[in-house]
Chain A
Amino acid sequence: MKNSLLLLLSLGMFSLLQAQKIRLNTAASTLTYQAKHIAHNWEGVNKQLQGLAVIEEGLPKQLAIKASVRDFDSKNANRDSHALEVLEALRFPEVRYYSKSIEKTSEGDITIVGVLSFHGVEASKTVIAEYSSSNTGFRIQGSFNFNATDFGVSLPSFLLVKINETIAIDYDLLFESIP
């Protein structure tokens, strides 16, 4: 009986220790949106991201990232302010993405099946990211598009013409274990 209990405890410890949580390195990570209008194109960068990832056997198994809508900076305060109004930032202050599954699909790539939560709407979003690992964690980079109208966003207009509904997102995320 004692041996059985010891074996069970050891197996339990081993199982729990395999999974390790690491944090997003905010200073080294960015999330950029790109939007288009007939008059001009622009991008907004967020350098205040938060995130966590769970790694097992050296590979990410789960991850979650969130960003405050107010922290996107397009170098035009008037435009950023208008964006906050359009996105109803007081009601929906954050944009979030979390994974449901992560698989290594090829050398250097991983496929993340996840959920994008934006403007109070959640939608499935699968992304293929370039993946590189290090002793302290991993980095994922890539891009994807989404339609703002799919998330209930009323497209703002300028000079009586609405912006393009497709928004491109570029991400560069570094997850590292904290010493």
Chain B
Amino acid sequence: MNKILFTIFVIVSQSINAQNGEDLFAEMEPLDAIDQRLLPDRMLFTQRLLWGEKGAMRSFKRYELTPENREKELKLRRKFLITHQILGYVTLAGMIAQGFIGGQLYNGKRELYELHKTVGNITTATYFTTAGLSLFSPPPLVSEKKGLSSTRAHKWLATVHFSAMVATNVLADDRKKLHRAAAYTAFGSYATAMIVLTF
């Protein structure tokens, strides 16, 4: 009888001790609520208008703020940003082309005026589409941390080249020297914005 009881007890006590490592997770603390937030603390006001908790897009069922919808939204964000990158390169090419054409035009080749105007309109269209894709994209999961970063520098430079791009278009017909200065400022700050993000 003693032997039977002893054997039973050894088996039971060994089974208590033979917990799988996986069982230990049940004894750990669950994720913080902070880890499960769907929106970042901070976002651009343009993003908040559309994608904030009470943004315009939230009134559509497809974009109601749920984990499943937010996942789809992040995939949409990825498409927005990839298109932003591609159009960004197209815009850069347009600016470089305009630099050459504009330079020739300013040196007296008046026959290039219509070409300069057409390429200018196309570049302006791609530029503002590129900007829109960034400004109105769904926000990321987490906010950027404070301090200097390549992303922050990219955004700061955007305010410079955005203003310069507007000025370039406003000054296109009347103030040629200012138009050229604004165009060079737009190109310089734009190219720098791409470089800081690449490296």
Q: Give A contacts to B, CB under 8 Å.
A: 4-5, 7-8, 11-12, 15-16, 18-19, 21, 39-40, 50-54, 56, 62-64, 66, 68, 70-71, 75-78, 80-82, 84-85, 88-91, 93-94, 96, 98-100, 114-115, 159
Contacts and interface: CB of A to CB of B under 8 A. Distances in A.
Contact of A64 (B22, B31, B36, B74): B22
B74 A80 contact: no
B67 interface: yes
A125 B149 CA distance: 36
B13 A12 contact: yes
Contact of B149 (A12, A50, A76, A89): A76
Nearest to B141: A84
Provide the main secondary structure of the chain A interface.
Answer: mixed
Residue with the greatest number of chain B CB neighbours at <10 A, chosen from A90, A99, A159: A90
B35 A62 contact: no
Given A64-B25, A78-B150, A93 B13 contact: no
Interface residues on B, range: 35 or more
Interface stretch (B1-9, B49-57, B94-102, B165-173): B1-9
Given A68-B35, A85-B77, A8 B20 contact: no
Given A52-B24, A77-B149, A88 B142 contact: no
Interface of B: 1-2, 5-6, 9-10, 13-14, 16-17, 19-22, 24-25, 27-29, 31-32, 35-36, 38, 67, 70-71, 74-75, 77-78, 140-145, 149-151, 198-199
Contacts of A21: 24, 27
